[in-house]
């Protein structure tokens, strides 16, 4: 997708809070501008995603006419306690309805503890994501086409499906992801029915190409969730997923 965008005349940014050689070689090297704020390999680094917000603003201020800005956040990867500012956990030792439910299901104390840390990580993550959206929306000229897309590459298990926490290819929680799309007023509004469509992350490039106004003979509109010709096909997964729309 990055190479396609560059071929279409876009200036491409890759900014990341991951220190991952494989990702750098497969994706970052295709960008015109690369910003890497985390130089601690693996998941033990304490670099916060908010460090990237200045990079986002700098990219938005760049005079290039066409831009694709990719922001690769650490999100809520374990270790959860490293994904939010120290001491900023409003859920610490708080017995809420979810905590009581997990305790009633016999979930381990360590899993319930991780769930609290995960919620704090997501709260901070939501703040950073919302800031990137506000930056994208701010300063748009009348009639200018702007778009913003957020998605996660995978989910996490934190006690809801099994007595464990972390990456979970063995439960449905590992595959459920949020996806949010915003387009400026220059775009056609999306219907309520379209907003409720199930979405596959491995089809995301087709939707992103639409947001970038890139078309070519081999395009597959049936995989673009914003297109009227979209046709949902459930992915083949190693676990049962009761519903792809709830």
d(CA 244, CA 246): 6
Q: How many helices (H) and strands (E) does the chain have?
A: 7, 7
Task: Say if domain 2-223 classifies as CATH 3.40.50.
Answer: no
Domain boundaries, the chain: 2-223
Kindly give, in sequence order, each residue whose CB lies less than 8 Å from that of residue 48, ignoring residues fewer than 6 positions away. 17, 83, 84, 85, 124
d(CA 211, CA 60): 17
pLDDT digit string, tens, across residues 11-67 = 999 999 998 777 777 889 999 999 999 888 777 788 999 999 999 999 999 999 999
- CB-neighbour burial class of residue 128 (10 A; exposed 0-12, middle 13-18, buried 19+): buried
pLDDT digit string, tens, across residues 57-104 = 999 999 999 999 999 999 999 999 999 999 999 998 778 999 999 999
Question: In percent, how much of the chain has pLDDT > 90?
Answer: 77
d(CA 127, CA 129): 6
- What's the whole-model pTM score? 0.93
The DSSP call for residue 194 is: H
Dihedral sign, Cα of residue 74, residue 79, residue 84, residue 90: positive
d(CA 28, CA 34): 6
């Amino acid at each position: 997708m990055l190479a396609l965008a560059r071929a279409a005349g876009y200036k491409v940014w890759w900014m990341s809070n991951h220190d991952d050689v494989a990702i750098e070689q497969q994706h970052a090297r295709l960008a015109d501008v690369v910003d890497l704020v985390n130089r601690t390999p693996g998941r033990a680094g304490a670099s916060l995603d908010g460090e990237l917000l200045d990079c986002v603003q700098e990219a938005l201020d760049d005079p290039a006419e066409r831009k694709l800005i990719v922001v690769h956040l650490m999100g809520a990867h374990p270790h959860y306690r490293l994904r939010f500012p120290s001491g900023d956990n409003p859920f610490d030792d708080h017995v809420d309805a979810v905590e009581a439910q997990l305790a009633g299901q016999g979930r381990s104390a360590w899993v319930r503890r991780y769930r609290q840390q995960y919620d704090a990580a997501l709260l901070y993550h939501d703040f950073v994501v919302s800031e990137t959206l506000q930056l994208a929306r701010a300063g748009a000229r009348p009639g200018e086409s702007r778009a913003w897309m957020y998605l996660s590459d995978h989910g996490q298990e934190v006690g809801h499906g099994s007595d464990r926490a972390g990456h979970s290819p063995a439960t449905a929680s590992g595959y459920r992801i949020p996806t949010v799309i915003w387009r400026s007023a220059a775009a056609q509004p999306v219907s309520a029915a379209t907003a409720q469509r199930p979405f596959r992350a491995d089809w995301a490039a087709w939707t992103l190409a639409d947001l970038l106004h890139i078309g070519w003979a081999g395009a597959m509109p049936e995989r673009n969730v914003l297109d009227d010709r979209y046709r949902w096909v459930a992915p083949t997964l190693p676990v049962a997923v009761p519903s792809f729309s709830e």
